[in-house]
Amino acid sequence: MIALYVKTWRDHWRTLLAWSLTLIALISIQMSIYPSISENKEALQGFLESYPEAIRKIFRMQDYTSGPGFLSTELYSMMIPLVLIAVGGTWGAAATAEEEDEGTADLLLTLPISRSRILISKMFAAISVVIVLAFLGLLNVIVLRGVVDMEIETAKLLAGTISSIAIGLFFTGVAFLIGAHSRSKGVAVGVVTGVALITFLIYSLSALVDDFDPIMPYNPMQWGLSGMPLFEGVDVVGSLKLVAGGLVAMIWAIMKFDRKDISTP
Amino acid sequence: MSSVHLDKLSKFYGNTVGIVEVSFDVYPGEVFGILGPNGAGKTTAIRTLLGLIKATSGKATILGRDALVPNVELREQIGYLPGIAATYDRYTARGYLRFIASMRKMNLDDEIENLSTRLDLDLDSHIHDLSKGNRQKVSVIQAFMHKPQVLFLDEPTSGLDPIVQREFEKLLHESKKRGAAILLSSHVLSEVEHLADRIAIFFKGKILVVDEISKLKEKARHRIEFTFSRQIAGEDFGQNTNISEIEVEENRLSCVVRGSQRELLTRAVELGAFEVRTQESSLEEIFLDLIGAK
């Protein structure tokens, strides 16, 4: 189990390093512009109010000039969750699909370890990388918060981080599930990314389009983002829905992989 | 008791045939060769036995245990060399082999060193830098290093040079000596003829024949040429049902005989034959003959 867990980290360390640097760069660049926003709060607020209401609703620009409003709009509503989805989704998709695609599954699955234990080891690795990256982001925000003189409680940042992790874990679970059904890592990553973007788009437009109302209770982005964690704290129900959904997808993936005919390249 | 036992094992992919009611046994200390053209079902049989694909029907045991039910303990006794030598490219050969050993919860460093020396493999090279032959060496080492009781080798010498092939044969003989049962699939007939004690010939998912190579040769078609003291006619042998392809040239007659040659030889002596030449079939001829008959 540990050997496979370590191997999973080792297999992805280059892309993980790239994503970590990307995340740090995104957070640093976004937060570096905050002083110019906070210094011109009134002018900027007036400028934002001149935006059509539709645009303000789509980009959730409530209280944009405050610390929580700025971070929510610029980082925690999209950027950070998407980075976690990209990394967790890639690890999940690669777990089985890449092994089959490259022909390495044949030997791996004849070693004295059950298929479910193989997949669980890789799931632990994917779950932990999502959590580690999210906390790396949190640490980065906390460090820069003092530098840019931003007012936001650490507890609220932690709530935003927990929501982001929950979203990341949900889509990681979906990636494992699609990977277990497919033999192509590319297909699995593509489907997960597509689903994430579509659900995010629907969530964003739902503020304007009433027709989306019936499906919003089933939209994972709604579960993770509508509670406005940077303002209101952890949305326990929403986060639990996401984590439970991710776990159900992972259990389903294990059951599928357990009885699957393994293909060869 | 056989180490590997298949009883009417079948695998279908929807309507596509994988293998159909395949039955054979492999005994301890035996090399059992499976031969057949591409798509005949050789790899499907091995992958079904290893649980990589689920059998549609039939039974199979390895070391007395149900092979069709996942069994981690049983896998400790199995070595497998897949037909496609796919390894983790980012590892060094040593790192990869250590990873496989750790998955087996074993420390096999000494054996890895020993086998790499015998097969002339640089353990510190990255796998993505290795040639096809050297990658195959890595696969051979991982299959043999834990001294398994049952070995499944799918096209094991693919890409190996003749010197390394000879070392591979030694490894095979050592495994036989310690009582391992070895199932070897190949399309290289000479290799199977050289290494296997018994063979099964696969064609379109079915087994055409299972036997010792020497017995197969006995049963196979032989071309026989007689020289007589007088001119001879093909019709003189017309009563013989197991001969064919009769060619007569003055006092010489050649024909193909299947199975027993007793009747043919008796008739030839009666007709005054004083010289006989026989040509033993190669495994390749047996193979092509069997497939041709289908």
In chain B, CATH 3.30.70 sits at 220-293
Q: CB B88 to CB A103 under 8 A? A: no
Give the best residue of A106, A122, A263 to mutate against chain B (max B CB count within 10 A). Answer: A106
Q: Cα angle vertex B58, ends B56, B60, to 5°?
A: 115
In chain B, CATH 3.40.50.300 sits at 4-213
Contact A190, A203 (CB under 8 A): no
Contact B51, A262 (CB under 8 A): no
pLDDT at B178: 95
Q: CB B75 to CB A112 under 8 A? A: yes
Between B255 and B109, the higher pLDDT residue: B109
Phi, psi values for residue A236, rounded to 5°? -60, -45
Across chain B, what does the average pLDDT equal?
A: 89
Q: What is the pLDDT of residues B130-144, one digit of tens each?
A: 999 999 999 999 999
Contact B162, B16 (CB under 8 A): no
Q: What is the pLDDT of residues A81-133, one digit of tens each?
A: 999 999 999 999 999 988 998 889 999 999 999 999 999 999 999 999 999 99
Q: Is residue A264 part of a domain?
A: no
HEC-encoded secondary structure of chain B: CCCEEEEEEEEEECCEEEEEEEEEEECCCCEEEEECCCCCCHHHHHHHHCCCCCCCEEEEEECCEECCCCCHHHHCCEEEECCCCCCCCCCEHHHHHHHHHHHCCCCCHHHHHHHHHHHCCCCCCEHHHCCHHHHHHHHHHHHHCCCCCEEEEECCCCCCCHHHHHHHHHHHHHHHHCCCEEEEEECCHHHHHHHCCEEEEEECCEEEEEEEHHHHHHHCEEEEEEEECCCCCHHHHCCCCCEEEEEEECCEEEEEEECCCHHHHHHHHHCCEEEEEEECCCHHHHHHHHHHHC
Q: What's the gap in Å between the CA of B27 and the closest CA on chain A?
A: 21
B7 strand-pairing partners: B59
A140-155 burial, b at 16+ Cβ within 10 Å, e below that, comes to bbeebbeebebebeee
Q: Is the pLDDT of residue A60 over 70?
A: no
pLDDT grade for A64, boundaries at 50, 70 and 90 = confident
Interface contacts A/B by beta carbons within 8 Å:
72
Q: What is the pLDDT of residues B110-134, one digit of tens each?
A: 999 999 999 999 999 999 999 999 9
The residue segments making up the domain with residue A107 are 2-258
- Supply the DSSP string of A65-80, one letter for each residue: TSHHHHHIIIIITTHH
Token code pair at residue A10: 């080792």
HEC-encoded secondary structure of A113-148: CCHHHHHHHHHHHHHHHHHHHHHHHHHHHHHHHHHC
Q: Is the pLDDT of residue B84 over 90?
A: no
Looking at the complex, does the CB of residue A110 fall below 8 Å from at least one CB of chain B? yes
Q: CB B82 to CB A10 under 8 A? A: no
Say how many domains are in chain A: 1
Return d(Cα B227, Cα A250) in angstroms, integer.
Answer: 78
Contact B276, B225 (CB under 8 A): yes
Q: Cα angle vertex B63, ends A265, A113, to 5°?
A: 50
Least confident of A133-142, B20-29, B73-82, B155-164: B155-164
Number of neighbouring beta carbons within 10 Å of residue B173 = 11
Q: Is residue A101 part of a domain?
A: yes
Give the residue-averaged pLDDT of A44-63: 70
Q: Which fold has domain B4-213?
A: Rossmann fold (3.40.50)
Q: Which fold has domain B220-293?
A: Alpha-Beta Plaits (3.30.70)
Q: What is the pLDDT of residues B39-82, one digit of tens each?
A: 889 999 999 999 999 999 999 999 999 999 999 999 999 999 99
pLDDT at B87: 84
Between B211 and A125, the higher pLDDT residue: A125
**Residue A246: strand, helix, or coil:** helix
Q: Is residue A263 part of a domain?
A: no
Helices A79-93 and A2-32, axial angle in degrees (round to 10): 160
Give the best residue of B52, B69, B96, B145 to mutate against chain A (max A CB count within 10 A). Answer: B52
Return d(Cα A61, Cα A77) in angstroms, integer.
Answer: 11
Q: Is the pLDDT of residue B205 over 80?
A: yes
Asked if ipTM goes beyond 0.95, one says no
A190 strand-pairing partners: none
Q: Is the pLDDT of residue B158 over 90?
A: no
Across chain A, what does the average pLDDT equal?
A: 91
Q: Cα angle vertex B77, ends B74, B81, to 5°?
A: 110
